[in-house]
Structure 1
Amino acid sequence: MKEINKNTSEKKGHFIGMVPLLIFLVLYMLTGLTSGSFENMPLMVGILIASGIALMMNNKDNPTTFEERVTIFCKGGGDHTLMLMVIIFILAGAFYGVANGMKAVDSMTNLGLSILPSNLILPGLFIIGCILSFSMGTSMGTVAALAPIAIDIANKTGTNLPLVCGIVVGGAMFGDNLSFISDTTIAATRTQEVAMKDKFKANILMVLPALVINLVALAMQPIDNVSLTGVHNYNLVNIIPYLLVIVLSLIGVQVLNVMIAGIFAGMIIGLIHGDFDLIGFMSIAHEGMKSMEDMAIIAILVGGLVALMNYLGGIDWLLQKLTKSTKSARGGELSIAALVSLMDIATTNNTISIIAAGPLARDISDKFGISRSRTASLLDIFSAAFNGLLPYAGQLLVMGGMAGVSPVSIMPYNWYSILMIIIGLISIAIGFPKGKISDHKKLTNIVKQTDIIEGDL
């Protein structure tokens, strides 16, 4: 048994298996840099090109036909975890469409503005961004909703415009990281096969210091008192779907049931208030689903590409390189953080970064006895933080465009994202919170210990 485990542990893989991914990253970066916009290289096209290259390659240690590699690709893309993720993506899109259609988004924003104290308007703006993004599950939607308000505050108070822009983006990334209906949370929990409530518990403990420090820093900023113009109408009944999703998720209800309950609640309230009829409900739900179609298809393609890279030895090679000098859980966590951060910097998409890095992060997690919920949190925290700081990512591009300032000028004022990285690294250094090791992982560790004992005998 010792010899068998030795061969398994020394499986080093082949660098050639990383070539398809490297080609995709180089193609994506070059297109963005030369054209002036990273949106000019659609992720789906880039991943298809990388997948095509991977299909043409072969593993010299385990040769296969083209048809067999196609089967590997299809099985990877059709993995049950990925399929569940796709369904959740679609339902989350439907929920957002229905919630927006029955004015839940407007009610949530206006409620925050109505109770916002004028002497704490900057931390108040950040809190509204946190609540809105946590409820909506989309950083881009939060930026679009709060940007006009932030610009109005800056104009009326003479506050640095990039500062209020950074506040909005920071609040948007809070929900992107923690929301139960965020695509990043869905990706992180599904790739690590953990419950959302377990990931949330570990994640909130890790980012809470960043949240508090950011609020204190914003409260200390000098600002003139301001009264925002306009009447902020809201209906507390309209925020019931958001509250229902949050409560059900926290008590551990299965995520599919949570999404369905949220959609159903939004439909009932929207029909009663006359926001839409039954046909209108189906139409806006469908539009919401369509908004997630690209992400769902990309997730499937990435799953197939990762399966081919695994067959070609790329995943084993990368795992070996990342962990060859790693002797502890702390080193494994740093490897996970570095991997997803680099993926996000290269792709400017935190969800895709998590989907691509997730399987490897899971292997590292199991190898070093790291809690899967902690691993999911690390994936989400570092990908969200860097995505909120990249001047060529969507959040800063949209915010800069609406405010008429350079995205680069906003970067140093997104204090929350910067604090997320700092606090995340401190959390790794001190090993808190550890989280619980799953029964599967306990069994794996027992087997490893048994192998060592039998080998010594």
Structure 2
Amino acid sequence: MKEVRLPTIPEIVIILGAFLALVFSFTLFLDLPIQLALFISWFFVIILGVRLGHSYQDLQKSIMDGITNGLEAVLILVSVGALIGTWIAGGVVPTLIYYGLEFIHPSIFLLATLIICSIMSIATGTSWGTVGTAGIAMIAIGEGLGMPLPLVAGAVLSGAYFGDKLSPLSDSTVLASSLSKVDILRHVRAMMVLSIPAFVITAILFTLTGFVYGGRNIDTEKVEFFKTSLQQYFDIGILMLIPAVIVVVLLALKKPSMPVIVIGALLGAIWASVFQGIDFADAINIAYKGFAIDTGVAFMDGILNRGGIVGMLDTLVVIIFGLGFGGLLEKLGVLKVIIATFEKKLTSAGNVTLSTLIVAFLGNVLGCAMYVSLILTPKIMEDSYDRLRLDRRILSRNTEVGGTLTSGMVPWSDNGIYMAGILGISTFSYLPFMWLSFVALGLALIYGYTGKFIWYVDENSPSDETEYKGEKVANDY
């Protein structure tokens, strides 16, 4: 039997260079689906794996294991797709758009977008669901108010990711904390000391920007036309928001995310039948195929014609292929070899923080899925934290900042594809306005290099793993 070895740095550079060349050529030059590039990339890594001594059967198993680890994301995304379709058909999203155009002043619109999406995301624990419902509404309102749409998208994503990171209901928050062996509430508290200052700074930036743009390009006739069109095609009223209230309350009561989202989708279908005059069988079908309408207004059709399980299939394939690719990278030890090369420099909290952020970001770039980043980063970096006696809360916090908050920045990642597709704005267009993510990354580095909010485990204190199992907590606050 051939002896298994780790890849060398030149081998890693070649394989990852081939991967990036394939991705960029497919997306930028050949106009081919990114999913196909990811699938082909599997075989590049498999060839390297066989060269390193792994059997094909073991490599295939690593693909299956990687996919299995992230199947929860697939289930939630399917549910969110059904929810988006029926909430549009049931008048939930159109009512949000109408009331937004009616009551939100242009000068505070960006701040309102940030706050609304934050509250929605904290209550529901899903950035995907928030962007697919409140986010769509804010984009439509921003168009009516004459706001630059990439800027609006930045406010939507800043709010969605902020709330997601502070919600114990979030699947990514649960994953980052559990793999770092940190109790989820301790993880959330550790995130708060970074996320809340980042939110305040981001809110100030969007407020100032809102005063610059607010009302400058507003077309009152266009706003009235939008409102009239919505009233023409939908029954608008407070009652339309009941499905959203029910879903938020159930999730706030810590009920399981996927069944609650499915209940929300069912309520949307019932509302579409009762209030919007859609046949109930057709309303149920919208949960699968998505909502479709021809209002004669191109932008409005673009906003409303979306959702459904079918509409999520492209992103689902990216997640599956990305998770499989991540499983292969973990099997070969690619990121571990990269970290081991710089291990001698990982002698301070600042350097370890910087390395964690880089590894987490590379998880999104190379694994093409947020789950890949959140799964691999704690496994790769935990020894460096333990060697420096750094509290595992720092590991889980840095994993979240580097993995979750950068996931929407990568055009070929699951979040990048989903966010761009739902909002109708390209990743590179909204990326400069993801201000909360940039501020949080900066604060994480400042904390690391200054020692602010960096906690250590005493030699005689219980280990992080022991603390995670529920015994006495050391260095808590």
What TM-score, normalized to structure 2? 0.67
Q: CA deviation at 1:331?
A: 3.6
What is the match of residue 81 of structure 2? Answer: 93
Percent identical: 17
Amino acid at match of 2:331: Y
* 1:57 matches 2:48: yes
What is the match of residue 7 of structure 1? Answer: none
2:21 to 20, 23, 26: 26
What is the match of residue 370 of structure 1? Answer: 392
CA contact (8 A) 2:315 2:418 kept: no
Q: What per-residue deviation string (whole Å, max 9, x for no partner) do you get for residues 275-317 of structure 1?
A: 5443223312113222222333332222322232233332431
- Relative distance call for 1:266 and 1:171 in structure 2 (3 A) is same
Amino acid at match of 1:94: A
Q: CA deviation at 1:53?
A: 1.7
Higher mean alpha-carbon deviation, 107-116 vs 126-135, is at: 126-135
Q: What per-residue deviation string (whole Å, max 9, x for no partner) do you get for residues 404-424 of structure 1?
A: xx9988766665554344344
What is the match of residue 260 of structure 1? Answer: 262
Distance in 2 between residues matched to 1:435 and 1:273, nearest whole Å: 57
* 1:74 matches 2:96: no
CA contact (8 A) 1:386 1:417 kept: no
- Relative distance call for 1:292 and 1:190 in structure 2 (3 A) is farther
Distance in 2 between residues matched to 1:428 and 1:275, nearest whole Å: 57
CA contact (8 A) 1:144 1:398 kept: no
What is the match of residue 442 of structure 1? Answer: 465
Amino acid at match of 1:333: T
What is the match of residue 34 of structure 2? Answer: 43
What is the match of residue 175 of structure 1? Answer: 160
- Relative distance call for 1:445 and 1:104 in structure 2 (3 A) is closer
Distance in 2 between residues matched to 1:342 and 1:246, nearest whole Å: 33
Q: How does 1:208-227 map to 2 (within 5 A)?
A: 208-220=196-208, 221-222=211-212
Secondary structure of the residue that 2:371 maps to in structure 1? helix
- Relative distance call for 1:314 and 1:295 in structure 2 (3 A) is same
- Relative distance call for 1:441 and 1:47 in structure 2 (3 A) is farther
Q: What per-residue deviation string (whole Å, max 9, x for no partner) do you get for residues 91-114 of structure 1?
A: 222222222221211222333333
Q: CA deviation at 1:131?
A: 6.1
Higher mean alpha-carbon deviation, 50-59 vs 213-222, is at: 213-222
Unaligned runs of 5+ residues in structure 1 are: 1-10, 155-160, 447-457
Distance in 1 between residues matched to 2:262 and 2:455, nearest whole Å: 32
Q: What per-residue deviation string (whole Å, max 9, x for no partner) do you get for residues 211-240 of structure 1?
A: 333433444435558684424864333333
What is the match of residue 315 of structure 2? Answer: 295
CA contact (8 A) 1:341 1:386 kept: no
Distance in 1 between residues matched to 2:110 and 2:264, nearest whole Å: 31
Amino acid at match of 1:374: R
- Relative distance call for 1:100 and 1:428 in structure 2 (3 A) is farther
What is the match of residue 110 of structure 1? Answer: 98
What is the match of residue 145 of structure 2? Answer: 153
CA contact (8 A) 2:91 2:240 kept: yes
Q: CA deviation at 1:152?
A: 4.3
Secondary structure of the residue that 2:145 maps to in structure 1? helix
Secondary structure of the residue that 2:392 maps to in structure 1? coil
Q: Which has the higher contact order (CA 8 A, sep 6+)?
A: 1
Distance in 2 between residues matched to 1:190 and 1:266, nearest whole Å: 29
CA contact (8 A) 2:86 2:287 kept: yes
Amino acid at match of 1:26: A
CA contact (8 A) 1:189 1:199 kept: no
Distance in 2 between residues matched to 1:415 and 1:89, nearest whole Å: 25
Q: CA deviation at 1:121?
A: 4.5
Q: How does 1:384-399 map to 2 (within 5 A)?
A: 384=407, 386=409
Distance in 2 between residues matched to 1:59 and 1:440, nearest whole Å: 38
- Relative distance call for 1:254 and 1:127 in structure 2 (3 A) is closer
Aligned residues: 408
Distance in 2 between residues matched to 1:106 and 1:433, nearest whole Å: 45
Secondary structure of the residue that 1:327 maps to in structure 2? coil
Distance in 1 between residues matched to 2:259 and 2:196, nearest whole Å: 28
Q: What per-residue deviation string (whole Å, max 9, x for no partner) do you get for residues 116-156 of structure 1?
A: 246534534554565678876364776765445434434xx
Unaligned runs of 5+ residues in structure 2 are: 290-307, 386-390, 470-477
Q: CA deviation at 1:383?
A: 0.7
* 1:333 matches 2:344: no
CA contact (8 A) 1:17 1:313 kept: no
Alpha-carbon RMSD: 4.6
What is the match of residue 320 of structure 1? Answer: 340
Distance in 2 between residues matched to 1:274 and 1:118, nearest whole Å: 30
CA contact (8 A) 2:35 2:318 kept: yes
CA contact (8 A) 1:170 1:417 kept: no
Distance in 2 between residues matched to 1:387 and 1:378, nearest whole Å: 15
Amino acid at match of 1:332: V
What is the match of residue 357 of structure 1? Answer: 373
CA contact (8 A) 1:28 1:41 kept: no
What TM-score, normalized to structure 1? 0.70
Amino acid at match of 2:371: I
